Amino acid sequence: MLKTFLITICFLLTLSLAFPIAAASDLPKAHPFYDEINYLINRDVVRGYPDGTMRPDVGVTRAEAVIMIGRLKGFDSKQRATNFSDVPASHQASGYIAAAATAKLITGYPDGTYRPNNTITRAEMAFILSRLFIVPFRAGVSFTDISPNMPVYEPIQQILAANITIGYPDKTFRPTEKVTRGQFSAFLARGLEAKFKNDATISHSYLRDKTKSYIYNTEYGTERHVYNYVPTRYGLEMGFVWSIYQEDGSLVTDTLEFETHEAYTFGMPYSEAYMELIYPVKVGQSWYTDTEYSAPRVITKTKVTVQTPYQTFTNAVEVTVPANPSFSEKGHVYYMVEGYGEVKSVELDGTIAKELKAVE
What is the DSSP code string of 76-111?
-------S-TT--TTSTTHHHHHHHHHTTS----TT
User: Is the residue at 202 inside a domain?
Assistant: no
Side-chain half-sphere CA neighbours of 343 within 13 A: 26
* Same-domain pairing of 242 and 332: yes
Domain of residue 178: give its range: 2-197
* Same-domain pairing of 242 and 314: yes
Residues contacting 37, CB < 8 A, separation 6+: 24, 27, 31, 46, 54, 56, 182, 185, 186
Cis preceding linkage at 325, omega within 30: no
244-247 contact pairs (CB < 8 A, 24+):
246/221, 246/222, 247/221, 247/222, 247/223
Residue after which a domain boundary falls, among 162, 197, 232: 197
* Same-domain pairing of 40 and 83: yes
Indicate the pTM of the whole model.
Answer: 0.87
* Same-domain pairing of 22 and 78: yes
Residue after which a domain boundary falls, among 141, 168, 197: 197
User: Is the residue at 206 inside a domain?
Assistant: no
Nearest to 218 by CA among 103, 126, 360, 334: 334
Nearest to 64 by CA among 80, 40, 81: 40
* Cα end-to-end distance, the chain, whole Å: 62
Beta carbons of 273 and 266 less than 8 angstroms apart: yes
* Same-domain pairing of 59 and 151: yes
Return the pLDDT at 317: 98
Return the pLDDT at 334: 98
User: Is the residue at 205 inside a domain?
Assistant: no
Q: How far apart, in whole angstroms, are the C-alpha atoms of residue 104 and residue 119? A: 20
* Same-domain pairing of 183 and 306: no
User: Is the residue at 192 inside a domain?
Assistant: yes
Q: CA quadruple 83, 87, 91, 96: dihedral positive or negative?
A: negative
* Same-domain pairing of 233 and 175: no
Q: How far apart, in whole angstroms, are the C-alpha atoms of residue 62 and residue 43? A: 20
Return the pLDDT at 23: 63
Q: How far apart, in whole angstroms, are the C-alpha atoms of residue 201 and residue 178? A: 21
Residue after which a domain boundary falls, among 197, 221, 246: 197
Side-chain half-sphere CA neighbours of 277 within 13 A: 31
CA distances from 219 to 28, 62, 222, 245, 355 (A): 50, 52, 8, 14, 10
Number of domains into which the chain is organized: 2
In angstroms and rounded to an integer, the radius of gyration of the C-alpha atoms of the chain is 23
User: Is the residue at 208 inside a domain?
Assistant: no
For 73, phi then psi, to 5°, come to -85, -5
* Same-domain pairing of 218 and 166: no
Cite the beta strand spans of the chain per DSSP E: 213-218, 221-233, 236-246, 251-259, 263-267, 273-278, 286-287, 297-307, 312-321, 332-337, 341-347, 352-359
* Same-domain pairing of 225 and 177: no
Reading the chain (360 residues) residue by residue, the pLDDT tens digits are 434 444 444 434 443 443 444 467 889 999 999 999 999 999 999 998 888 899 999 999 999 999 999 999 999 999 999 999 999 999 999 999 999 999 999 999 999 999 999 999 999 999 999 999 988 888 888 899 999 999 999 999 999 999 999 999 999 999 999 999 999 999 999 999 999 999 999 999 999 999 999 999 999 999 999 999 999 999 999 999 999 999 999 999 999 999 999 999 999 998 888 999 999 999 999 999 888 778 899 999 999 999 999 999 999 999 999 987 777 778 899 999 999 999 999 999 999 999 999 999
User: Is the residue at 49 inside a domain?
Assistant: yes
User: Is the residue at 92 inside a domain?
Assistant: yes
* Same-domain pairing of 178 and 281: no
* Same-domain pairing of 128 and 177: yes
Q: How far apart, in whole angstroms, are the C-alpha atoms of residue 201 and residue 195? A: 12
* Same-domain pairing of 181 and 230: no
